Structure 1
Amino acid sequence: MDLLPLTEQLLGIRSTADRPDDLRRALDFVLDVVGPGFTVERFESGGKPSALVHAGDHRPHFRVIFNAHLDVVPGTDDQFRPRRDGDRLIARGAQDMKLSALVLASVFRDTAARLPYPIGLQLVTDEEVGGRDGTLHQLEQGVTASFVVIGEHSARRVVAESKGLVTVRLRAVGRAAHSAYQWLGDNALVKVVRAVDAVLAAYSVATGEEWRTTVNVARISSENQALNQVPADATAWLDVRFPPEDTDFTGRTADEVAAHFTSLCPPGVTAEVDHFEPPHRADPDGPDLLALQRAARAQGYSGDLLRKHGAADSRFFFQRGIDAEIFGVGGDGQHGPDEYADLATVEPYRRALTAFLEDLA
């Protein structure tokens, strides 16, 4: 448990997307844990810093990359004051994923120089807001690997599959009028509400865990500010998550997905796709994945494969033909008021990662 005091310090850093100084503090903190003797490549995109750590002067093609994000979602003041309850370490980011990040950093520090193949430590600060300025940016700058372990929460299992992500806007244009004379106008907000109803009729709100496409209505808005005016515009924002099996999304272009949503809407409403990223899937019989499962099971983890509903940075590797798995410490409650990491899983996690690297050697 030598990492516990360090973890508590890292959890106290309020590294949310709107606090760039704290994002840098968190990144520098973990780099200090890694210590000297390694090459540190620093990147920045969209105001979000990241780093890639490796042995040797020149960046190689990595046999393995450990990937960790150090940003967290917003929380209350008390969530950035970590506390213990038995084996539970409770704080914002405890499970997602600052403790796992420090374990990955410590295993990298202790093994990178002695392994007969190159490994890298990839530290990013934007995963919670999309990952495009961290992991994706580094890949666009030429970072390559054969296999990636991401320390996200995985319920003591190994995530080899996760859903794709689409963000969609439903736009309606109407005609303004005095609200007392509705027949002279055309209410765009009513059109968008009906469009949302139509989309939810096709993709009902999930009331339990189901491996299917889901649509979250995140926001509905209009530029109209007057109660006595018929709105002439309206927009609904949708967050869509889809599994690889859904052929309305997998293998389609962004324009085709936009046309699909437009076809669900009543006349006068059109769909636009802001972001469209494929699901993530790794070869369940790949030798590296099987090696990771063996190492996890040897330390008491189940090592079973898990399908994850949320998108992760693993999708950026998948797009480039790189197998990426998610494997992190135990815990629960990510993004919630009582998020916690299970401290009893930390040393087995560290031993599993070390054994995995040695097995590959």
Structure 2
Amino acid sequence: MQESWSSHLKTDEYEIEVNSIISLTTRLIQFETTTKENINLAVDYCSEWLRQRGIETTFINNDGYKSLIAEIGEKGPIIIFNGHLDVVPAEADQFFPFVDDGKIYGRGSFDMLGAVSVMMHAFVELSKKTLPARVILSLVPDEETGGEKGTGYLVENGILGDMVICGETTNLDIAVQAKGILQISLEFLGTASHGSRPWLGENAILKAFHAYKEIERLDLFKEKSQFFDRPSINLARIHGGGAINRVPDRCSLILDIRYLPDQNPEDILDQIRGITDAELKIISRGDPVKTNPLNEFVIRLKDTAENVLGSDVRIFGQDGSADTRFYATRGIPAVEFGPRGANHHGKGEYVFINSLLDFKSILIDYVMSYSKKS
């Protein structure tokens, strides 16, 4: 283990805290939380870890998935620390975490088990203080697969706050917006004929190809906004064809569209229907996040982070989606804000230990800042 984070190790007590954060992070990685069973085991472990430190927890079950809720404080604004315990699948060796050169390596170290570990440590430390705010710790099971079993269900059942911090991969910058999700299938019909006489049929694959190029050229995919250069469209899947000597009479496309926060998904669907006779079906959709960067809760978090870091903190928009979207639909300011690292969802994923310590300081100082007037 290298000593690049040694500037933080000022006392024996502090070193114990650093090692505790590392230990909890690596233990959570080892659960390989890619299945319901393993996620629930990790939730149980987090509950016991918190219980041993004097924190009462509550389980909320939905379709066999467990979420963990804990709450401290008696008055003031409600701040939610939201973290997901699930990770995307990976090769077996990525679930054997290790520490090197000031980084924790392993699947989920950056997205977002390092942040979960910090939120749990910050929550315990805050529980020992007289708080100017109420703090809810929310650990959920399924952000990587949509979030409806966890955060979506909690929001539906009234677990809400005045400000939400999702500890996602932001490198200690603050994401206030996220694109909306529109995933659709298009089913194209042609006319089959013998492959030696394609002029007697209508090739459904070619029909789909030409339609996709027309969709790409729609003006809506050239629009910009405050935090985004463009929407995106990904041709995620294509099915079509059978025998090589037969003109295909069916072809389906799966499109993953990420639209700008101020774009209307119904307008997008109408424009696509206007240029093709394919049967269109919606597979999945998710609302964008449009948290106001000038919201008082966001400004307070930015000021707190800059004070701890001694440097500017960027306000930006995420191309992807996170559990912030469930709160955003209720008009609750929700941000993605988490430690520094790299390679999430890829090989060599890591999180900087220094940034975990900074993240913890920011979370604690942010909550305690409500003892002061704005």
TM beyond 0.5: yes
Residue 48 of structure 1 deviates from its aligned partner by 3.3
Change in 2 beyond 3 A, CA 1:231/1:45: farther
Residue 63 of structure 1 deviates from its aligned partner by 0.6
List aligned pairs for 1:1-361, cutoff 5 A. 1=18, 2-16=20-34, 19-35=35-51, 37-55=54-72, 63-112=78-127, 114-202=130-218, 203=221, 211-222=229-240, 224-245=241-262, 247=263, 249=264, 252-253=265-266, 256-265=267-276, 268-300=277-309, 302-361=312-371
Change in 2 beyond 3 A, CA 1:167/1:61: farther
The percent identity for this pair of structures is 27
CA distance in 2, matches of 1:60, 1:312: 28
Change in 2 beyond 3 A, CA 1:190/1:46: farther
Instruction: Please state whether the residue corresponding to 1:170 is helix, strand or coil.
Output: strand
Aligned length in residues:
344
Change in 2 beyond 3 A, CA 1:359/1:47: same
Residue 196 of structure 1 deviates from its aligned partner by 1.7
330-339 vs 225-234, which moves further: 225-234
Contact 1:259 1:271 in 2 (8 A): no
Contact 1:172 1:192 in 2 (8 A): yes
Residue 5 of structure 1 deviates from its aligned partner by 1.5
Q: Any gaps of 5 or more consecutive residues in structure 2?
A: 1-17
Residue 140 of structure 1 deviates from its aligned partner by 1.0
Contact 1:72 1:96 in 2 (8 A): yes
Instruction: Please state whether the residue corresponding to 1:34 is helix, strand or coil.
Output: helix
Change in 2 beyond 3 A, CA 1:14/1:60: farther
Residue 55 of structure 1 deviates from its aligned partner by 4.3
CA distance in 2, matches of 1:230, 1:42: 55
Residue 335 of structure 1 deviates from its aligned partner by 1.1
CA distance in 2, matches of 1:53, 1:180: 68
Q: Any gaps of 5 or more consecutive residues in structure 1?
A: none
| TM score, norm. by length of structure 2 | 0.85
CA distance in 1, matches of 2:355, 2:132: 28
Contact 1:30 1:102 in 2 (8 A): no
Give the counterpart letter for 1:239 in structure 2. D
CA distance in 2, matches of 1:162, 1:55: 29
* Residues 78-123 of structure 1, C-alpha deviations (whole Å, 9 max, x = no match): 2111122301212111111000011111111221464243221111
Contact 2:88 2:144 in 1 (8 A): yes
CA distance in 1, matches of 2:105, 2:280: 41
Residue 153 of structure 1 deviates from its aligned partner by 1.0
Instruction: Please state whether the residue corresponding to 1:338 is helix, strand or coil.
Output: coil
Q: Which residue of 1 aligns with 2:11?
A: none
Change in 2 beyond 3 A, CA 1:46/1:234: farther
Contact 1:175 1:231 in 2 (8 A): yes
Pairwise CA RMSD:
2.4
